[in-house]
Structure 1
Amino acid sequence: MLRFITRLALVGSIAAALTFAKLHRDPGSIVVDWRVVKEPPIEVRVETPSRGRIVRKITAPGVVESVEEVNIGSQILGRVVAVDVKEGEAVKAGDVLVKLDRTDADARLLSAQARFDRHRAAITQAEDDLAKAARDEAQHGRLADRGYSTPTELADARTQFHKAEAALQMSRRELLESEALRTISLEEVKRTEIRSPIDGVVTDLSVRVGEVVIAGTINLPGTVLMTVADPSRMRVIADVEESDIPLVQPGQASLIYLQADGRTAIEGVVEKVTAKGRKTGESVGFETRIRVDDAPPSLRAGMSATVEIEVRRTEDALGVPTHAVVHRRRKDLPGTPAVLAWADRNAGSPGGGVRESGMRYVKVAFVVEGGVARARPVELGLTDEHRAEILSGVEAGEQVVVAPFRALDQLTDGQPVQVVGDAEDPR
């Protein structure tokens, strides 16, 4: 009770002081008029929703690589005596790239050839010996039938025949072995000339004359002399974020922009999406292979690129400029039927309590009605960098505020507006 009496006395004192001041003010004093001045309307530009194409795209960084790329190495140990190509030079399949010292290989081939010739001559001699032994055996057989040859002589003749036959078989086996050795030696000589297995362009040339190169084994990689890549068959390996990867499918069209030339688009097609992601820092990316069917000369292996993948499109979407859709907290919007309908749709969502729902952001578009701006909660479909598809909230023919940006940022429901200017100018 005492507190109430005190407040009442304070209000009375203030009123008396104001009355005294009004009655005794100086002739030259300033009088403050506390009456409310009506807020002037904000100038805005509007646009009616229109139908057209909206394409949903995602972007990802990538690196260009050749589809067919071969690391060139040596199949034998040897010293480089000549490098017949330069970095960036075009080569054909079968062209000589590098030559190795063939002195030892030639010596081994000569030795193998001599051995082969010797065994071939031995076969000729063995065939002659076998023919003679066969004649001797036949002659002793005829003489034995007439009683002119003893059984011992006939047995000796037959023994000589079998020995000659065995000697011929041995000579034939030795000839096969020497022929195999000659083939190996000949192949070793051929391997002193390292040739390109494909048509392509020389890249990563690292070998120099005088270097000793080694052949690779299962457990030990050999010396990589250079790489030959086919420039007509290229692809881009893109790193797509995990939030976008559910939208990416093989066969989708894509555009490739090189870092060296960001204005020219190169057409590509999604060829493959890996099933397992790769974590880099705090993000997870999925390797996505983009095939380029008609690679231009400007596309080179190792280049950095940005890939735009078209994941969805609609040809007849009712849309407005993307910047015309803004965000407002639920508590800052009036209780219009449109706002209440939005609240009903989102009542069961996480954080749907009274306090929490009031702090949630609502996507709205401002529509001009009777000279004031009205906030309409909107449901969006596809969006791209220019247009947003309106599924509900705004109808065709209505005036949607699209500019200026500053007005859109500060506009509130029920605020007076004046439509001016051209909607094409967003300033």
Structure 2
Amino acid sequence: MLKTVVAIALLALALGAGLLFFKSEKPTVVSTVETIRGDVSATLKLTGTVINDHTVTITALLDGEITAINAREGSTVKNGDALAELDNRSAVSRLKKSEAELQLRQQNYQSARQSYNRVRKASNQGTSSKQALEDRLSEFQNAGAQLAIAEADLDIIQVIVDNSVIRAPFDGSVTGQWAEVGQWVEAGTQLFTVVATEGKTIEVMIDAGDFGRVAIGQTAELTSDAWPGINWTSSLNWIAPAINSENNSSDNLFAARLDIGEDAPELLLGQQLNVELIYETRENVLILPLHTLQEFQPGKYSVQIIEDDVARNRTVEVGLVSLLDAEILSGLTEGEQVINTAGRWVREGQAVTTDTSR
């Protein structure tokens, strides 16, 4: 009997000590965040590349030896600038000969015309025979044909001379060069690649699973590691009609393009950019910072609130999610405070107090 009494006394003492311990437990200091109304935007984080579709590969139009290179890779050129020159001495000589031939044919034509006109006038007056008139007409027509041939020959030779100088087709930059002085080239040999100054655009590759979220006209926010602190906006202006199949890639991606943007800094061809494509925005909805939420099951979220000075978990329904915030569909009302866990969850039932120093 005595042992039983002692055991009960010890148990009571232990329980009392435990209660005293829990009552004296120091509350955890937490900060809170208010549930507010605002806008939330869902985005796709993408990598963009500056490209220019207005790119041409310039080839030699004639066979010949390169005698001059006037532009190299990286050169800035204007429309009509001579990029390279082929040996055209033979063509220039033929051109001079054709010019002289044309001049002779023009003189013959003028002489034949004057002769025909004189005989025709005399024939009308009855002082020249019909045969003489026909002969002068034949000579005049033959002179006209010879003149036309000489003009055509000159045009052909002029084209050859012109084509011996390889010129830029527009203002731009030389991005490729495969020619050197002394090199013999055949017609069709690649010599230069020129990219136009105008016409830059931004291309992004998007997972095919997001195709239904993407539409022309959507806004994108852009930044560049080359320009810290600068951000600007653009809009989607083109979506590829098919999956990208270049390089036999197994990635299920499609291409889309954006305008450079009016406020864009100076960008180089091939430069990579950080692109956040906004595919949906909801305005004036309840929102919370994303870091205050815990996903305890796929698609299921909870927050922590303070009730009677202790932490309590509460399930909330989440709608649209951005990189920073989440839309709260149910479980909280505007103005309610939640614990700013920032990934450090407080044990449910833990005594808490708010940090009044903030």
With normalisation by structure 2, the TM-score equals: 0.82
CA-CA distance at 1:287 after TM superposition:
0.8
AA matched with 1:323: H
Q: Is the 8 A contact 2:175 2:192 kept in 1?
A: no
Name 1:227's counterpart in structure 2. 194
Q: Is the 8 A contact 1:72 1:228 kept in 2?
A: no
Which one of 278, 284, 296 corresponds to residue 310 of structure 1? 278
Q: Is the 8 A contact 2:52 2:195 kept in 1?
A: no
Specify whether residues 257 and 168 from structure 1 end up closer, same or farther in structure 2 by C-alpha distance, changes over 3 A only.
same
Specify whether residues 90 and 281 from structure 1 end up closer, same or farther in structure 2 by C-alpha distance, changes over 3 A only.
closer
Which one of 168, 173, 182 corresponds to residue 196 of structure 1? 168
Work out the CA distance in 1 between the residues paired with 2:263 and 2:186. 35
Name 1:110's counterpart in structure 2. 96
Which one of 159, 165, 168 corresponds to residue 140 of structure 2? 168
Unaligned runs of 5+ in 1: 1-18, 24-30, 143-153, 217-221, 330-359
Name 1:278's counterpart in structure 2. 244
CA-CA distance at 1:43 after TM superposition:
4.8
Work out the CA distance in 2 between the residues paired with 1:374 and 1:240. 41
Specify whether residues 379 and 361 from structure 1 end up closer, same or farther in structure 2 by C-alpha distance, changes over 3 A only.
closer
Work out the CA distance in 2 between the residues paired with 1:202 and 1:294. 25
Is 1:59 matched with 2:45?
A: yes
Name 1:254's counterpart in structure 2. 220
CA-CA distance at 1:319 after TM superposition:
1.3
Q: Is the 8 A contact 1:46 1:401 kept in 2?
A: yes
Q: Is the 8 A contact 1:115 1:178 kept in 2?
A: yes
Specify whether residues 281 and 200 from structure 1 end up closer, same or farther in structure 2 by C-alpha distance, changes over 3 A only.
closer
Which one of 81, 88, 111 corresponds to residue 95 of structure 1? 81
Which one of 371, 380, 388 corresponds to residue 326 of structure 2? 388
CA-CA distance at 1:235 after TM superposition:
1.0
Map residues 18-417 of structure 1 onto 2, 5 A cutoff.
37=18, 43-131=29-117, 133-134=119-120, 137=123, 141=126, 157-216=129-188, 222-230=189-197, 232-261=198-227, 263-278=229-244, 283-294=251-262, 298-329=266-297, 362-403=300-341, 405-407=343-345, 411-412=347-348, 415-417=349-351
How large is the RMSD of aligned CA atoms in angstroms? 3.3
Specify whether residues 295 and 367 from structure 1 end up closer, same or farther in structure 2 by C-alpha distance, changes over 3 A only.
closer
Q: Could you say which structure has the greater relative contact order, defined with CA pairs below 8 angstroms and 6 or more residues apart? A: 2
Work out the CA distance in 1 between the residues paired with 2:356 and 2:239. 45
Work out the CA distance in 2 between the residues paired with 1:293 and 1:194. 34
Work out the CA distance in 2 between the residues paired with 1:272 and 1:93. 28
AA matched with 2:99: Q
Name 1:419's counterpart in structure 2. 353
Q: Secondary structure at the match of 1:173?
A: helix
Specify whether residues 37 and 224 from structure 1 end up closer, same or farther in structure 2 by C-alpha distance, changes over 3 A only.
farther
Work out the CA distance in 2 between the residues paired with 1:291 and 1:281. 26
AA matched with 2:317: E
CA-CA distance at 1:202 after TM superposition:
2.8
Specify whether residues 293 and 305 from structure 1 end up closer, same or farther in structure 2 by C-alpha distance, changes over 3 A only.
closer
Work out the CA distance in 1 between the residues paired with 2:263 and 2:278. 20
Q: Secondary structure at the match of 1:292?
A: coil
Percent identity reads 24
CA-CA distance at 1:69 after TM superposition:
3.1
Work out the CA distance in 2 between the residues paired with 1:69 and 1:90. 14
Number of residue pairs the alignment of both structures matches:
343
Specify whether residues 214 and 297 from structure 1 end up closer, same or farther in structure 2 by C-alpha distance, changes over 3 A only.
farther
Q: Secondary structure at the match of 1:57?
A: strand
Work out the CA distance in 1 between the residues paired with 2:332 and 2:229. 36
Unaligned runs of 5+ in 2: none
AA matched with 1:249: A
Q: Is the 8 A contact 1:68 1:229 kept in 2?
A: yes
CA-CA distance at 1:52 after TM superposition:
2.6
Work out the CA distance in 1 between the residues paired with 2:345 and 2:124. 124
Work out the CA distance in 2 between the residues paired with 1:241 and 1:378. 30
CA-CA distance at 1:327 after TM superposition:
1.9
CA-CA distance at 1:291 after TM superposition:
0.8
Of the structure 1 ranges 319-328 and 360-369, higher mean CA displacement relative to structure 2 is found in 360-369
Work out the CA distance in 2 between the residues paired with 1:42 and 1:210. 82
Work out the CA distance in 2 between the residues paired with 1:405 and 1:307. 27
Q: Deviations over 1:31-87 (max 9, x none)?
A: 9x9869566565543222122332322111221112533333333333221122343
The higher radius of gyration belongs to: 1
Q: Deviations over 1:182-217 (max 9, x none)?
A: 01211221222222222223322332222233434x
Specify whether residues 361 and 34 from structure 1 end up closer, same or farther in structure 2 by C-alpha distance, changes over 3 A only.
farther
With normalisation by structure 1, the TM-score equals: 0.70
Work out the CA distance in 1 between the residues paired with 2:357 and 2:290. 13
Specify whether residues 291 and 183 from structure 1 end up closer, same or farther in structure 2 by C-alpha distance, changes over 3 A only.
same
Work out the CA distance in 2 between the residues paired with 1:138 and 1:362. 110
CA-CA distance at 1:225 after TM superposition:
1.7
